[in-house]
């Protein structure tokens, strides 16, 4: 079961990262938004949804599950890789979420200068 869930998360991560590549946001705009974030009026529900998808407490559960039979060094390495990959996927989710157009968000043109 754990392998099935891991595969599902991996497929979702690849899907988000592929979508980011297809959207082709300018790197300078993404970096600027990473360090100087802004929120347009009416984006509260979208932001709440993005925060809910990017908080990665599963890494803590993953750490407790893989701790059995490992040295502390191996555990730290595994958690580091999991957290970094989780962060990259979370960034992909945020970039894709910034391009969402629909009833829960303002027009992407007002939210993303690159759209």
pLDDT above 70 covers what percent of the chain?
71
Determine which of 33-47, 76-90, 98-112 has the lowest per-residue pLDDT on average: 98-112
Q: 28 or 115, which is more confident?
A: 28
- Specify the pLDDT at position 82: 77
Say what the pLDDT of residue 66 is: 63
Number of neighbouring beta carbons within 10 Å of residue 107: 11
Residue 96's contacts (CB-CB under 8 Å, 6 or more residues apart) are 16, 19, 20, 23
Mean pLDDT for 25-34 is 86
């Amino acid at each position: 079961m754990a392998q099935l869930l891991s595969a599902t998360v991996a497929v979702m991560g690849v899907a988000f990262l592929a979508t980011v590549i297809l959207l082709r946001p300018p790197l300078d705009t993404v970096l600027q938004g990473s360090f100087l974030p802004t929120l347009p009026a009416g984006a509260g529900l979208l932001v709440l949804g993005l925060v809910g998808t990017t908080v990665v407490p599963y890494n803590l559960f993953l750490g407790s599950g893989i701790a059995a039979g490992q040295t502390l060094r191996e555990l730290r390495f595994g958690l580091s890789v999991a957290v970094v990959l989780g962060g990259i996927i979370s960034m992909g989710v945020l970039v894709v979420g910034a391009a969402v157009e629909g009833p829960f968000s303002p027009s992407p043109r007002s939210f993303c200068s690159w759209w």
